[in-house]
Amino acid sequence: MHTKQLEKYVGQEVTLKGWVANKRESKTVVFINLRDGRGLCQCIIGAEEIGEELFATAKSLGQESSIAVTGKVVADERQIGGYELHVTGLHVYQNARDYPISNKEHGIEFLADNRHLWLRSRRQWAIMRVRNSISYAIHNFFQNEGFVQMDAPIFTGNAAEGTTDLFETDYYGKPAYLTQSGQLYGEAMAMAMGKIYTFGPTFRAEKSKTRRHLSEFWMIEPEMAFCDIFENMDTIESFLRAVVLEVVQNCKEELEVLGRDVNKLTTVAKPFPRLSYDEAVEILKGKKEVNGQNSLAVIQADLDKAIERQKTCEAEIAERETIIAAGGIKKGVINFNQNKIDSLKNEIKQLEEDQRNMPQWLASARDFTYGNDFGGSDETVLTRLFDNPIMVYDWPHEIKAFYMKRNPDDPRFARGVDVLAPEGYGEIVGGGERETSEEWLVEKINEHQLPIDVFQWYLDLRRYGSVPHSGFGLGLERLVAWICKLDHVRETIPFPRYYGRLEP
RNA sequence: GCCUUCAUAGCUCAGCUGGUUAGAGCGGUUGACUGUUAAUCAAUAGGUCCCUGGUUCGAGUCCAGGUGAGGGCGCCA
Query: Which nucleotide is at minimal CA–C1' distance from A212?
Result: B77
Lowest mean pLDDT: which of A173-177, A489-493, A495-499, A500-504? A500-504
Q: In this prediction, what percent of chain A has a pLDDT beyond 90?
A: 45
Whether A474 and A202 have beta carbons less than 8 Å apart is answered as: no
For residues A35-48, average pLDDT = 88
Q: What CA–CA distance (Å, rounded) separates A136 from A375?
A: 31
Strand B nucleotides within 7 Å of a protein CB: 1-2, 4-5, 10-14, 24-29, 32-42, 68-77
Angle at A339 between CA A334 and CA A345, to 5 degrees: 125
Separation of alpha carbons A131 and A111, rounded Å: 19
Instruction: Identify nearest nucleotide to residue A342 by CA to C1′ distance.
Output: B13
Q: What is the pLDDT of residue A324?
A: 66
Alpha helices in A146-294 (DSSP H): 183-193, 229-250, 252-257, 277-284
**C-alpha to C-alpha distance for A309 and A492, rounded to whole angstroms:** 29
pTM: 0.91
Q: Is the CB of A86 under 7 A from strand B?
A: yes
Question: What was the pLDDT predicted at A311?
Answer: 79
How many Å from the CA of A137 to C1' of B4? Answer: 40
Q: Gap from A347 CA to B54 C1', in Å?
A: 36
Q: What's the Å distance between residue A118 CA and nucleotide B51 C1'?
A: 30
pLDDT value at position A203?
92
- d(C-alpha A365, C-alpha A284), whole Å: 6
> Which residues in window 321-360 of A are less than 7 A from strand B by Cβ?
330-332, 334-335, 338-339, 342, 345-346, 349, 353, 356-357, 360
Q: How far is CA A77 from CA A5, A7, A70, A259, A451, in A?
A: 16, 12, 21, 20, 67
pLDDT value of position A339: 67
Whether nucleic acid strand B comes within 7 Å of the CB of A181, the answer is: yes
Q: Give the list of residues 6+ apart from residue A292 with CB closer than 8 angstroms, or none.
A: none
Question: Does residue A117 reach within 7 angstroms of strand B, measured from its CB?
Answer: no
Provide the CA A244 to C1' B64 distance, Å, integer. Answer: 53
SS (H, E, C) A18-47: EEEEEEEECCCEEEEEEECCCCEEEEEEEH
- In angstroms, the first-to-last Cα distance of chain A is 31
* pLDDT of A142 over the 90 cut: yes
pLDDT score at A332: 63
Say how far A324 CA is from B57 C1', in Å.
Answer: 37
Q: Work out if A164's Cβ lies within 7 angstroms of strand B.
A: no
Q: Identify the band that residue A312 occupies on the pLDDT scale cut at 50, 70 and 90.
A: confident
**AA letter at A466:** S
| C1’ B57 / CA A201, Å | 63
pLDDT on residue A335: 66
Higher model confidence: residue A501 or residue A322? Answer: A501
Q: What is the ipTM of this complex?
A: 0.84
What span, in angstroms and rounded, lies between the C-alpha atoms of A299 and A385?
10
Q: Give the pLDDT score at A184.
A: 92
Q: Measuring from the CA of residue A108 to each C1' atom, give the nucleotide at the shortest distance.
A: B70
CA of residue A333 to C1' of nucleotide B47, angstroms: 28
**Strand B atom within 7 Å of A206 CB:** yes
> Nucleic chain B: which protein residues 222-281 of A have CB below 7 A from it?
none
Ranking A100-104, A113-117, A464-468 by mean pLDDT, the lowest is A100-104
- Using the predicted structure, report yes or no on whether residue A162 has a pLDDT greater than 60: no
Q: Can you tell me the mean pLDDT for A259-264?
A: 92
CA distance A291 to A190: 40
pLDDT digits (tens, 9 = 90+) for A313-323: 777 777 776 76
Which nucleotide is closest to the Cα of A208 by its C1'? B75
Is residue A31 predicted with pLDDT exceeding 80? Answer: yes
Classified as helix, coil or strand, A177 is: strand
> How crowded is the C-beta side of A329, counted as CA atoms within 13 Å?
15
Q: Of the spans A126-130, A284-288, A349-353, A500-504, which averages the highest pLDDT?
A: A126-130
